[in-house]
A and B are shown apart, each in its own frame.
Chain A
Amino acid sequence: MTAARLARPLRAVITAALVLVLALCPVWGGDGARSTLIVFAYYAALAQMWNLLAGYAGLVTFGQQLFIGLGGYTLAVGCERIGLGVWSAFALAAVVTGALAVPVGALTFRLKGGYFAVGSWVIAEIFRLSFGNWSYVSNASGMFIRPARSVDPWLLYYVAIGLLLGMVALVVATLRSRAGLGLMAIRDAEDAAAGLGVHVWRVKLLAFVIAAAGTGLIAALITVQTPFIQPNAAFSIEWSAQVSFMAVVGGLGTVEGPIIGAAIYVVLQHRLGGSGAIHLIVVGAVSVIVMLVAPRGIAGLVRDRWGWTLFPVARRPPVKADRAP
């Protein structure tokens, strides 16, 4: 990463301008823009969490739908069965998914590489099938979340945008921390990282728990918006297909990538509407092509060509004047 970066003030101005445009949506946009941007915000936030695992921690997973389902069901059960308010149940979703990530991670980390990816999927399947057999959550027929219907859509919009900004800040903060440096070291060379004193297991689990809690929180928000949940949809592998597409096309291992990828995905979804099969064929084929032709995605191409990054997290070695040629 020796390419020149955008100057710090310029980065701040671009970020502030984007945030301002989003914040002023009620002024320039209507209900259509609002619902599109809500969907964009939660896809971008979900992809951000997947990217933290696959792009930075070397934990490629096809099992994040476990935390999507659990986060959604925490909200549904909290509101409909326990009688919590919508926003307390929303906060509870992060706690439940984050706590469950500890035993799930402890178990699945025993599998390496591709087997970890599929092992996480199997755990999600266990939950999908069990929730389908569980009468407390109305089996496979699903639950309506009645209190969520009275949530003001613009409030939902600001929570969604806030959540996206929060997830971006969380990822940037994690990556700039000591643990983040450890994560990237693990991704690049696990054994070497361990040899240099990185607590590999602990750092991976930290990333896994952060991603699970973030994913659970976003899923709860999705469920507030729907407001309906069903095990076959909530624990569906399609979530993994979507978020991996966004992270790969946008640019793995970059903070901008998942946001760019989510924007492309939302446009694609609008264009292809109608048939689910054609949409998924395009998503699958584009993932394959991008992975083979431009494995660093759009953000990677931009970075390689012009050296631009909006959220730099790579460290630059200090330049010593006396070593300069």
Chain B
Amino acid sequence: MTMQLIETLLNGLLLGGLYGLIGLGLSINFGTMRVVYLAHGDLIVLAAYFLVVALVPLGIPALVAAAIVVPVLFAVGWALQRFIVGWSLGRGILPPLIVTFGISMVLQNVLLLFATADARTLQTSLASSGVRLGSITVPTVRIIDFAVGVGCLGLLLAILGRTALGRALRATSDDADTARLMGVDPRRMYAVAAGISAATGAVGGVLLSATRTFYPTTGSEALLVAFEVVVVGGLGSLTGTFLGGILLAMAQLLAALWPGPSYSQVAAHVVVLLVLVFRPQGLLPRTAP
């Protein structure tokens, strides 16, 4: 029993890397342009479909295909921002919500139309292999989830904290008008941020496709995970977002153990409710960029 509990918590920690990564994208979009990007989950699933349905069947090795998916999704996120979402900014909270929700509906149903509602997953040798730690076996794919998730977080923090681009992004986030006076074009920054966000989503989508089965509707599920990770972690803190991911993944896996697998999804939602009741500011409120 104790071993099973430790195994579940360890698995939760590792899966939390993927959840944190899924939340990061939403956090970046909100951090720079104050928009809750409702199509984020569908971009993640779009990346997963692009990999599994379009690239892998061509005989492209999974790793090479993943290296194609990420820049393509950067371009998709950039273009959506530049040509659609960007035009809805600056007129209150409603227009960007309606626009990103509309994009979400279009993406989800286009996937449904062209890729059908069949369950998909990335067939790799990783799926069945495991790493033994004493009497516990951990799936290799979850260790990769965690390592890649932490790697992406580190990379993002480095970009935001130490590069000229990161400085411009943070300046736009703090005060777009003053940033413009300093020669930073906020619309360009928003498009770059949306591109980075979609690229993190693409990495998340690749990992998701190797970790579990997915459907066109998984986009909504992923959006809710991202939202919950951000709310639990604390709005505006990338590191908090990551901790939120770990907490939620642990809650889901524990609930799957008891009371049972059909409760795992609802467990994450209930954690969010508890956070809203007892700690509405989240785990780590507004610290890092």
Question: A129 to chain B: which residues have CB within 8 Å?
Answer: 262-263, 265-266, 269
Number of interface residues of A (CB under 8 A): 42
Once the chains are docked, how many angstroms separate the CA of A313 from the CA of B152?
A: 52
CB proximity of B80 to chain A, nearest CB, Å: 10
One of A110, A277, A295 near B112 (C-beta < 8 A):
A277
| CB <8 Å contact, A130 and B102 | no
Whether A301 sits at the interface, judged by CB under 8 Å, is no
The binding surface of chain B is classed by DSSP as helix
Once the chains are docked, how many angstroms separate the CA of A295 from the CA of B224?
A: 27
| CB <8 Å contact, B266 and A130 | yes
- Whether A122 contacts B228 in the complex (CB less than 8 A), given A133-B262, A277-B113, A295-B91, comes out as yes
CB proximity of B7 to chain A, nearest CB, Å: 25
| CB <8 Å contact, A107 and B97 | no
Stretch at the interface among A28-36, A113-121, A263-271: A113-121
Q: In chain A, what residue has the closest Cβ to B269? A: A126
| CB <8 Å contact, B113 and A62 | no
Once the chains are docked, how many angstroms separate the CA of A278 from the CA of B114?
A: 11
Question: B228 to chain A: which residues have CB within 8 Å?
Answer: 122
Whether B64 sits at the interface, judged by CB under 8 Å, is no
Whether B104 sits at the interface, judged by CB under 8 Å, is yes
Once the chains are docked, how many angstroms separate the CA of A276 from the CA of B97?
A: 23
One of A107, A119, A277 near B277 (C-beta < 8 A):
A107
Q: Which of A125-144 contact B (CB under 8 A)?
A: 125-126, 129-130, 132-133
| CB <8 Å contact, B88 and A237 | no
| CB <8 Å contact, A292 and B276 | no
Stretch at the interface among A17-25, A83-91, A280-288: A280-288
Question: B230 to chain A: which residues have CB within 8 Å?
Answer: 115
Whether A76 sits at the interface, judged by CB under 8 Å, is no
Question: B272 to chain A: which residues have CB within 8 Å?
Answer: 119, 122
| CB <8 Å contact, B106 and A281 | yes
Whether B94 sits at the interface, judged by CB under 8 Å, is yes
Most buried by A among B36, B98, B273, B280: B98
| CB <8 Å contact, B223 and A118 | yes
| CB <8 Å contact, B87 and A284 | no
- Whether A115 contacts B235 in the complex (CB less than 8 A), given A122-B224, A252-B94, A288-B99, comes out as yes
CB proximity of A157 to chain B, nearest CB, Å: 31
Whether B231 sits at the interface, judged by CB under 8 Å, is yes
| CB <8 Å contact, B36 and A277 | no
| CB <8 Å contact, B97 and A280 | no
Once the chains are docked, how many angstroms separate the CA of A168 from the CA of B96?
A: 27
| CB <8 Å contact, B263 and A133 | yes
Number of interface residues of B (CB under 8 A): 47
Whether A248 sits at the interface, judged by CB under 8 Å, is yes
- Whether A114 contacts B105 in the complex (CB less than 8 A), given A121-B224, A125-B224, A292-B99, comes out as no
Once the chains are docked, how many angstroms separate the CA of A27 from the CA of B30?
A: 55
| CB <8 Å contact, B109 and A291 | no
CB proximity of B77 to chain A, nearest CB, Å: 16
**B92-119 toward A: CB 8 Å interface, digit per residue (1/0)?**
1111111101111110111011000000
Once the chains are docked, how many angstroms separate the CA of A58 from the CA of B113?
A: 34
Most buried by B among A54, A277, A283, A287: A277
Question: B147 to chain A: which residues have CB within 8 Å?
Answer: none
Question: B280 to chain A: which residues have CB within 8 Å?
Answer: 110
Question: A287 to chain B: which residues have CB within 8 Å?
Answer: 98-99, 101-102, 105
| CB <8 Å contact, A295 and B101 | no
CB proximity of B135 to chain A, nearest CB, Å: 32
Question: A97 to chain B: which residues have CB within 8 Å?
Answer: none
One of B113, B235, B273 near A278 (C-beta < 8 A):
B113
Whether B84 sits at the interface, judged by CB under 8 Å, is yes
Once the chains are docked, how many angstroms separate the CA of A122 from the CA of B99?
A: 20
Chosen A-B contacts, 30 in total, with CB atoms closer than 8 Å, are: A62-B38, A62-B97, A107-B273, A110-B280, A111-B231, A113-B93, A114-B38, A114-B96, A115-B36, A115-B227, A115-B235, A118-B227, A121-B224, A125-B224, A126-B273, A130-B266, A244-B101, A252-B94, A275-B113, A277-B112, A280-B105, A280-B109, A281-B109, A281-B113, A284-B101, A284-B109, A288-B102, A291-B98, A292-B84, A295-B95
- Minimum-distance CB pairs A-B, first 6: A114-B36, A284-B105, A288-B102, A287-B102, A129-B266, A284-B102
Given contacts A281-B113, A284-B101, A291-B102, 17 further A-B contacts (CB under 8 A): A60-B93, A110-B280, A114-B30, A115-B231, A117-B36, A119-B276, A122-B224, A122-B269, A129-B266, A241-B101, A244-B98, A244-B101, A278-B113, A280-B109, A292-B87, A292-B99, A295-B91
